Amino acid sequence: MPNLVTNRFRVHNAEQFFESLDEASPSRYYIYIGRTTAFPSDGSPPTPTDTLQNTEYDVYRDIIAMKRVQTSDASHTSLRYNWTNNTAYTQYTDTNASLFPTSTSPTSNTTFNVLTDEHNVYKCIDNNRGGRSTVKPTGTGTSVIVTADNYRWKFMYTISAADALKFLATNYVPVKTLSANDGSAQWNVQQAAANGAIHHYVIGANGSGYQWSSNTFQSITNSTVLVLKSNASGTDDIYNFSTLYISAGLGSGQIRKIVNYVGASRTVTVNSAFTTTPNTSSTYIVGPNIIVRGDSGATSAYRATAYVANCAGGQIRRILPITDGLAYSTANVAVSANGSHGSGATVTPVISPPGGHGSDPIAELCARNVMLNVRVAGAESNTFPTNNDFRVIGLLRNPRLRGGPAANASVIDQCTRLTVTSVSGDFTADEVITGGTSAVKARLVRFSNTNAAQTQGILRVVRVTTTGTGGYFTVGETVTGASSGKTAAISAVTKPAVREYTGDVIYVSNRSPVARASDQIEDIKIVINY
């Protein structure tokens, strides 16, 4: 049975995950690091397998330390497309099934939103019939932006410096929808968005034989009778049923239907008086009548209207909106003119997303990814070792402390700590140590001396392996390093803070080794794709 999981559902899942960080009873997420020992090939880490043994058990044995994800560490993200000169961008349409890609690789059908070097994000409303963009969009106003290359763009939002530093990546841009007025240009765009508006018209067939003329007026008789320039046709009635649109100057933005045309004098009579009467400096366009019909329940003052902006060679090549209208979910266009002059053009209006362009960037840019960025600075209160490397990062949800309650600390040391005395020398990181009595083995992450004579200290170990009888390291026994041969006597045993195998491992990533140092900062980024 054919079925479809929609992009809206994917965005919903991303929103639910994001919201779970800050709910009344929030989920607690921890990013962890692990595995100090080499993979069979460190240059080509193996792909993790989603088996119960791997993700429910084995992962825990290598965890060294973890840090809690805060709400400020998360952001919705969409795919990143930098605006580049001489590039053809995809224009938004409400019928493009490939508008939102399923991978980070852009295709000819997906690059409809761009990021500029000012960190502004725009949507392409009109790509000038597949032309190349040669003028970078600028501006942060609420209206559609027209550039000199005849591209038309919609400003969405500006990425703040803080969000750019934390969440802007090679393939991703941060996205947010504001819920309160922060005084930004984005808030103005959200508030000005028009639900179900029509900002663009796609021409399917140009047709032929259409009449079109543009100039400034020769003279103005009155508000309904106007005289065109001499480049207009000299044939009587040829412009009947076409429209007269004032494109610039006094009275601009008005459109009327032509009901009579006298070719000898180039005189047009329109169906109703212009509210503001044009003058001889006003620019007019005479062209086919564009009739928009649809299910909008708005009053006539808020219906969509448009005019033919380019009709070279009698073919309709460009239609631009006069008023965008409101509340359309479906619409169609009829092209009307003198029946003897022009036919065959087909036009499809493009309806904005629910709420209108710019009302909800998360939904409109299909920001179904959530990026987490947790910063680990040095030792993080002596929790993250700085003398060893790691090869695995992951995400753990709702782990529980050994005493029972849910983990809540900002940072957690997940190593077993063996306090030792009678130390015979320096142990070697990553070597296997073995209990002389218990025969329990573990992998050494770090040995820290705690006295000047270097005879006391703490062994921090992971991957504790018993002999099959459930035993553990015991106080009083001697441990020996397999590589160094050094020994020490255990005076105390502290098990990991988080009880093993509690919570859910929901993300695992194997990587080439990452070396750490006391003055080093790592921004650990995870992108969760829905």
With helix as H, strand as E and coil as C, how does 443-478 read? EEEEEEECCCCCCCEEEEEEEEECCCCCCCCCCCCE
Report pLDDT digits (tens) over 342-381. Answer: 999 999 999 999 999 999 999 999 999 999 999 999 999 9
* Stretch 467-481: mean pLDDT: 91
Q: Are 112 and 124 in contact (CB under 8 A)?
A: yes
- Say what the pLDDT of residue 468 is: 78
> Cα(443)–Cα(429) distance, rounded to whole angstroms?
8
pLDDT band at 107 (very low <50, low <70, confident <90, very high): low
Q: Which of 507, 510, 204 is nearest to 371 (CA)?
A: 507
* Stretch 516-522: mean pLDDT: 90
Helices and strands in the chain, H and E counts: 6, 32
- Say what the pLDDT of residue 484 is: 95
Q: Tell me the backbone φ, ψ of residue 80, rounded to 5 degrees.
A: -100, 130
- Say what the pLDDT of residue 105 is: 59
Q: What angle do CA 424, 435, 62 make, to 5 degrees?
A: 100
> Cα(323)–Cα(198) distance, rounded to whole angstroms?
8
With 0-12 CB in 10 A as exposed, 13-18 as middle and 19+ as buried, what is 398? middle
| Signed CA dihedral, 59, 63, 67, 72: sign only | negative
- Say what the pLDDT of residue 467 is: 80
pTM of the model: 0.90
